Chains A and B, each alone.
Chain A
Amino acid sequence: MSRPPPPPPPPPPTTNKDQQRQNPSLQEINIKLIQSGEKERLKELLRERLLECGWIDEMKALCRAFTRKKGRNNVTVDDLVHVISPKGRASIPDSVKAKLLQRIRAFLASTAD
């Protein structure tokens, strides 16, 4: 018995204009967000919220503590990203996540064609 053929690669999102209305892929959503400028607005909103709730200060403090421990000249950007990413992702307030999701959903609904 022969094995079933491998699934075809996903079509490039920009060229397929009459793609069926299925759940859009992350790539497609991302491109829509970028092209409309909404991604930049969302980033600004996120920056504002994270600043207000002290998340950014927390991350800065983590970076400072790590840098102090390792020594200023022994730390790279990649090290810092590696160190703070888990804690950073975990400590985003739920309200911020909810707000952003709400915005993204509203955007997708408004641009659905």
Chain B
Amino acid sequence: MSSKINGHVSPQPCPHLLVFRSRNGPKPFRALQDCIRVKPPGGRAAIRREPTEVPRCGTCEESSRSRLYACVACAAVFCHAPLLHSHASDHSLSIPGHEIAVDVDRAELFCCACGDQVYDRDFDAAVVLAQTVNATATTSTSGSTAMQCSVAGSQPENLRKRRRVDYRPWEPDSGEHISRGNQSIPLLDAANASLVSSTQQPWGLRGLNNLGNTCFMNSILQALLHTPPLRNYFLGDRHNRYYCQQKNGAINGTKNSRLCLACDMDALFSAVFSGDRTPYSPAKFLYSWWQHAANLASYEQQDAHEFFISMLEGIHEKVEKDKRKFQSPAGSGDCCIAHRVFSGILRSDVMCMVCGFTSTTYDPCVDISLDLEPNQGGSGKSSSAKSLNSFNVEADCMRPNQNCGISTLKGCLERFTRAEKLGSDQKLFCQKCQVRQESLKQMSIRKLPLVSCFHVKRFEHSSIRKMSRKVDRYLQFPFSLDMAPYLSSSILRSRFGNRIFPFDGDEQDASNDLSTEFELFAVVTHSGRLDAGHYVTYLRLSNQWYKCDDAWITQVNESIVRAAQGYMMFYVQKVLYYKESENQGTS
């Protein structure tokens, strides 16, 4: 009788729960809520009649059984081990109306007749309330106001509901009818097919000439050129550079077209996907970008990640200026294609270690920067870094994590979403205590973007020591990645257990609309030193890997990619990653 908690659908109550609710007034679990005990602040919730109660089965006196349930109707505690004996079931069968019980150690409702967990919105809200606000000294009323502000009540504007549009199959309009009739050429007729099939390389693979330490730009451009939603947007003529510049010219009245990085992207896409395989010089693009990021305009080496961010900003800025109408809130992705593709929402929970009060904030992000943990003592485990294809794992270390000596992307993400005690020098202001207190901070992902970009912080700049260094440590990254464990819903579940959350329901994560599975499609690698290094991008097309080293594009084996030093990894939602047919280009 259970359905997914993670989805919009609230779990359906079983018949016994329905009967119980109808018989026990509007707040059937009110008395139970007073028995919720949480220790220490922010810890797990348990059900105890007195704080020091040791729960014991009323029938067999056992207190060491793993599942003890308290009947919600009469508060009697019973053990439940269906294979041996279930005194809880016996009790529920003996007295009608006593089927609903609560797990005393997990504070989760259970129907002894159905043998399954059941959910009540009010009760679950009360448990979450108790876990986030320490209710020992204060009364629950003052606690609940504080709670509602942070969790239940105000939703940030950037989480407004998306309006769904009914699907209709495409029909050409009159203009499209005409152009179809007159001038459309089949993509793969005899003349064109030879162009593509001659090299048997997929569409859109074209080297980019290095214009003077511009590998930082080339590497990112190669990744963007093959970012599926971005590629589709530009190849689908969604930003037509001729139309855009014509419009600008009309507004400005000048012949010099205004800076528009999106137009330059459009030109780049046209050039790279034209079928011409000779290396292309993105000089116009570089010039435009210099104008946008004046502080970075030089022939010195730049950071690819910085370039990536400034490029997205550039596309956004131009589009924003165009839109005079309603300004969409940050993070919704409705502002420009750059944010539509890359923007996700991060959730940050800061909990006061003294009183348990938690404040939650949401921030949009276009990528996630991850720390490479410092090298944990080798102790002979460094040998496992040599054999990259078969990991020698210890018996009690089934997943390669930092204890085994290999850094992994998953390990970094786990660390990113781990609850972290902020040091005593980083005390944050607690609204409830009204002073700065030591805090516990935890990040999680509220909404996944279409494309997740992970940036590995390999370049450390210490302003204190006035020096910078590069971290060469190898990072293992998967080709397929499931982001589910890093979502806010998963993180919250591990904190609070299985229950409905107060802010659940219709405004559940937008991430539920799409799956959490991602596929790797581009890796930007860096080799060399901080001041003298080289960027290379590996692209995955039709499940083949291609190395894009400025003007040279070569097919490589996947083991080369796995062994490379990843600096930025680009993952796209699996549903958007289609493997092109092997037969394209040949008749």
Contact = CB atoms under 8 A, between A and B. Distances in A.
On whether the two chains bind one another, the answer is yes
Contacts of A75: 2
Contact of A53 (B43, B54, B117, B396): B396
Contacts of B63: 27, 30-31, 34
A95 B395 contact: yes
B230 to A, nearest CB: 34
A106 interface: no
A93 B396 contact: yes
Interface string B41-65: 0011000000010100000011110
A93 B67 CA distance: 22
Main secondary structure of the interface of B (DSSP, over half): loop
A73 interface: yes
B398 interface: yes
B120 to A, nearest CB: 16
A52 B2 contact: no
A37 B39 CA distance: 10
A73 B1 contact: yes
A82 interface: yes
A49 B401 CA distance: 13
A31 B54 contact: yes
B123 interface: no
A30 B68 CA distance: 14
Interface centre among A54, A57, A77, A82 (most CB of B within 10 A): A77
B136 to A, nearest CB: 15
A95 to B, nearest CB: 4
A61 to B, nearest CB: 12
Interface in A46-68: 49, 52-55, 57
A38 to B, nearest CB: 13
Given A72-B4, A76-B1, A76-B2, A82 B395 contact: no
A53 B396 CA distance: 5
Interface stretch (B108-116, B176-184, B357-365, B550-558): B108-116
A41 B71 CA distance: 27
Contacts of B254: none
B117 A77 contact: yes
A90 interface: no
Contacts of B395: 93-95
A81 B80 CA distance: 11
A45 B82 CA distance: 27
A52 B403 contact: yes
Given A27-B64, A95-B395, A52 B401 contact: yes
A18 interface: no
A30 B64 contact: yes
A26 B396 contact: no
Interface string A71-90: 01101111101100100000
Contacts of A37: 39
Interface of A: 26-27, 30-31, 34-35, 37, 40, 49, 52-55, 57, 72-73, 75-79, 81-82, 85, 93-96
Interface of B: 1-4, 39, 43-44, 52, 54, 61-64, 67, 82-83, 110, 114-117, 395-399, 401, 403
Given A27-B64, A73-B2, 7 more contacts: A30-B63, A34-B54, A35-B54, A49-B396, A77-B117, A94-B396, A95-B395
In the complex, the 5 A-B pairs of residues with the closest C-beta atoms, listed nearest first: A54-B398, A76-B116, A78-B115, A30-B64, A93-B396
